[in-house]
Amino acid sequence: MQKEQPQVLDIVEGALANSRPFGDCDYIHQCTWRHEERRLELLEGHLPSSRALLSALRGAGTARRYRVLGDPVVRAAIHDAIGHHRLHVSHPHPEDLEQILRDAAALAADERRDAPLAAGAARDVRLGQAPHHGFLWCGGADDDRPFSRRFAALFREKLPWLRPAAPDARDRHTLLQGARLLDVLLPALARSALAHAQLVVVAGPDGDAPAQARGFRSATVAGLLGTVVLGPVTLKTPWSAAEHLLHESMHLKFIDLELTHSLLRNGYRMERSPVVSPPWHRRDPSGLRDWTVNRMLTVLHVYVALALFFRAVERRAGELEAEFGPLGDLDPGLQARRSFDRAHFLVHALRRHEGELGAAGRRFCAWLDCTLAAFDPSPPPAGSEVHLLLDLYAREAAALRDRLARSAEPPAAARLVEEIATTELATARGVLAAIEGAPPLRDAPAPAATLAERLWEVRARISASLRRVPREAYARRSAGSAKTPAELVRAMLDSSSDAVSALFRELGPT
């Protein structure tokens, strides 16, 4: 790392946390409050409680306004009331909206420290004692407080395949440690990001969850504003908890920006948006994994922040592991590089679709691009995607290894594994042969004892060999070749898709 890197990281953190209009959380909150108050004004002729809430908010201090107007149930009630009374969208229980706003008015007039969702709770657990630290959801089936009931209904509506659960003592400890680690690593960005996360919910997939939800890690949902949802798998270490708290809080920050700034052109509609297929995800013929322009913007926002996070971890892990535990299998250097590379890809993709952005969106994208350039020591060549494809390749190899290790290894699986390995080894040799001066494929180690080890060894060897090639070399087509080496790598991953799918079917359900 360059000698001046620590100072550069401090400057980048200051930009992401404090610059206006896209970094300063206090400024963004002020914009959000004005937005919600204007919506309440639109309801004054329909809901008496909207006048009461407006009056209470205008007499409340900043801390109280922050808690009440940031509460996911209050914000959802304002949204639904606008839909019902102004846009004539039917609501099953409009009387509930009146009651929520009335209760919110009473809570806004009461200068207390808790959020509406936490008021009257048997257990009040926060991520920390600073104003930007949100609350942990500790409600259960027997929690009959009006705000809790409404939040549980919203959660079922927005995330029907997840079930929230009160975090146990270990999970609470890991979450609090994760928040404190984030405060230590990146104090300015931690405050600026976590200030948008009023509530943290621990949840896992229920018995009817789709297969792709079984490994749920984390989520934010536009209909649950101010809410971070974390899967138990993210709470193995404070390092993982800190990463996912930052990740999802940056998404929440973007949602508030999107509501209050012209990030997208007038008339933009997600269903008609141009899309890209991120190279680090396997292509889905249904298009379910394609990203719209607004999705690209929010993910770019997150990856720039994560690049900074992993650089900070890389810099300070040695001094902090004694307090927060070992990094485990986290490789901060690799994760920082992945975040940088994915962010660069999204910047280039957004430039191709700049017409879909509003004035603020173009400025937002340029700001993140400049921020990225300020601390990426080795940006990839324009149009380079092989490094992103290899991320997918390695991640899929790990998933296959873990799945094979849990299986009884039916006879057909051995044949499929051998077919995949043989085909990919031949393709990798062809890719390397098409690149002048590329090193040959690394020698094979001793034969693997299990199917899981066999496929993992082959893919790890191929990935390591391909990563040794300079990234710019993948764009150069050799004489007589119809495809660039990059296109050959893409073809290798695409052609293995059917075989990998067949292997998973042979292994059966988990």
pLDDT band, very low/low/confident/very high, at 2 (cuts 50, 70, 90)? very low
Among 58-67, 137-146, 251-260, name the one with the lowest average pLDDT. Answer: 137-146
Exposed, middle or buried by CB within 10 Å (0-12, 13-18, 19+), for 202?
A: buried
Alpha helices in 200-292 (DSSP H): 238-260
> Cβ(132)–Cβ(253) under 8 Å?
no
Q: Helices 187-194 & 169-185, crossing angle to 10 degrees?
A: 130
Report d(CA 203, CA 138) in Å as an integer.
11
Average pLDDT over residues 435-448: 77
The confidence score (pLDDT) of residue 459 equals: 85
Q: What is the predicted pLDDT for the residue at 1?
A: 40
Residue 3 scores a pLDDT above 50: no
- For residue 8, the model assigns a pLDDT of 93
Range ranked top by mean pLDDT from 135-144, 165-174, 190-199, 286-295:
190-199
Residue 409's pLDDT band (cuts 50, 70, 90): low
What are the pLDDT digits (tens) for 333-354? Answer: 999 999 999 999 999 999 999 9
Q: In the prediction, which pLDDT does 4 show?
A: 46
- From the list 151, 174, 175, the residue with the least C-alpha distance to 164 is 151
Residues 31-63: tens digit of each pLDDT = 999 999 999 999 999 999 999 999 999 999 999
Return phi, psi of residue 87, to 5°. -110, 0
For 91, the token pair is: 């609501």
Chain segment 186-239, per-residue pLDDT in tens: 999 999 999 999 999 999 988 776 666 677 899 999 889 999 999 999 999 999
Which pLDDT belongs to residue 407?
A: 65
Q: Which of 200, 199, 235 is nearest to 217 (CA)?
A: 235
Q: What is the mean pLDDT of residues 76-100?
A: 93
Question: For the chain, what percent of residues have pLDDT higher than 90?
Answer: 58
pLDDT (0 to 100) of residue 386: 85
Is residue 287's pLDDT more than 60? Answer: no
| Residue 491 CB-density burial (10 A; 0-12 exposed, 13-18 middle, 19+ buried) | middle
Tally of CB atoms within 10 A around 204: 18
Residue 453 in tokens? 């080890």
